[in-house]
Amino acid sequence: MSDLKPTLVVLAAGMGSRYGGLKQVDPVGPSGEAILDYSVFDACRAGFGKVVFIIRKDFEEIFREKVGRKYEGVMEVAYAFQDLSDLPAPYVVPEGRTKPWGTAHAIRAARSVVKEPFAAINADDFYGRDAFERLADFLKSDGACPCKHHFAMVGYNLNLTLSEHGSVARGVCRIDEAGYLSDVKEMTKLVRAGDMAENQEDPENPVKIPLDARVSMNLWGFTPGLFTELEERFPKWLAENGAKEKSEWYIPFVVDELIKEGKADAKVLPTESAWFGVTYREDKPLVVDAIAKLVAAGEYPEKLF
């Protein structure tokens, strides 16, 4: 077990310059806490030593003032910037491109500020105390074999991640007998259907999924070796996809490639933590109520920071 404290990397570049009106900072806690506040709180008490926010340069000042400053007395706070033009030579941003390059590009932005094992999360998802504790234990452990990268993914029970107000997109995991990720299949229109879930991308032929299937909610654990892999793979991805108007480089794609090439494994860490997110406007009261119940049960204090 290593004494090195892992880092929390928060993908927050999508929060945008219209700061106050976005769901990432919408109050859901009893003292006005946003979902992000609970993630930082859970990571801190699980033993993470630093938080790195991946943001855009154009809203750095307001983000530091309204978000980052509140954590500075709790843990080390750092910033990295996802910039559309942060590309390896000789690539340049195609004319008219405004869409970000995806989660793999966002994580790559932290390559100069993260030197220790780290977790990567979305800014607007509630992951739960147990999930962070399991991931912290994994990141502090020594890898079994130096011949490959050892990553991890927290696997949620599909039943606990569905919305009652519409379909959701989830990464449905296939896990081998040893508990390692074989692959993740993105399903974009999952709904509850009796005692099963259905992926209704093809309404005429919906795919049945067990409610106890494990799904990815983008809570990953990585070693710094990931940055080397991202640097090596990004030019190839750009050559094949960079000219496509809406192409995005997703971190699950990179992990899947590395697993299939035998260069990495990804341990699935099952959690019974409930995931909360505001996919639809109607979801917010349910999130507020769920957090209130956790506070009443003593899982969180009335005021986090």
Q: Which pTM does this prediction carry?
A: 0.91
142, amino acid identity: D
Question: Are residues 305 and 37 in contact, defined by beta-carbon separation less than 8 angstroms?
Answer: yes
The pairing of strands 125-126 and 276-277 is antiparallel
Length of the chain, in residues: 305
In a domain, 301, yes or no: no
In a domain, 133, yes or no: yes
How far apart are alpha carbons 222 and 116 in whole angstroms?
Answer: 9
In a domain, 2, yes or no: no
In a domain, 213, yes or no: yes
- CA-based angle 104:257:245, to the nearest 5? 45
Quote the domain boundaries for residue 215: 7-296
How far apart are alpha carbons 152 and 146 in whole angstroms?
Answer: 16
Domain CATH number, residue 28: 3.90.550.10
pLDDT the model gives residue 24 = 56
Task: List the pLDDT tens digit at each of the 305 positions of the chain.
Answer: 567 899 999 999 876 443 344 455 778 999 999 999 999 999 999 999 999 999 999 888 888 988 899 998 899 999 999 999 999 999 999 998 988 899 999 999 999 999 999 999 999 899 999 999 999 999 998 666 678 999 999 999 999 999 888 898 888 999 999 999 998 888 989 999 999 999 999 999 999 999 999 999 999 999 999 999 999 999 999 999 999 888 999 998 899 999 999 999 999 999 988 888 877 778 889 899 999 999 999 999 999 98
Tally of domains in the chain: 1
The pairing of strands 76-81 and 50-55 is parallel
In a domain, 303, yes or no: no
How far apart are alpha carbons 193 and 196 in whole angstroms?
Answer: 5
**The two three-digit tokens of residue 176, written as one number:** 């081998």
In a domain, 19, yes or no: yes
In a domain, 64, yes or no: yes
